[in-house]
Amino acid sequence: MEIDPPDMAQVPLDTFARNAATPSAPDASFRGLIVRVPTEVRIDAGEEPVIPIAGFGLLDVPSPPTDEPMLLIAVDEAGDEHQGVIAPVDEGPVIPPPALPPPDPADLVGVFVESYFNPDLVATCSLAPPFGRYRVRVEYRGFVSNEEEVAVVDIVP
């Protein structure tokens, strides 16, 4: 498999960590989501396809807290929309922290959180077979990221 640009091949899939391919906020006042996708992915016959996505979010802390999922959306050349939830990979049982009362909304004014996400477009959006062009974006809490295009091609020997 070949991925362009090459730094996108180094994205640690299914993690929530900053990496060399992570986009940056355009300025200090930015609030929203930014995604970066490969421009092209070339897949050999029989290879397990992977399309790495590197994402960044800078959002105000919601009050009240929300459990709304972050959606990864891919629109194919026919206009069909494929979507999936960007979620942590289940690493087994985790003991939850003790329940705390919700924070006072006044205490959250001006508080924001930085987040990173690195899903595999193929697995998250159940793309099979993934060949073609896709316009990719992320939606979360009313925010819509930039939209980028990736071409997925079959390497013909």
pLDDT tens digits along 107-150: 767 777 889 999 999 999 999 878 899 999 999 999 999 999 99
Residue 147: helix, strand or coil by DSSP?
coil
- Domain 2-88+101-155: which CATH class? mainly beta
pLDDT tens digits along 50-85: 999 999 999 887 666 678 899 999 999 999 999 999
- Residue ranges of the domains in the chain? 2-88+101-155
pLDDT tens digits along 84-102: 999 876 666 777 778 888 7
| Rounded Cα–Cα distance for residues 97 and 126 (Å) | 32
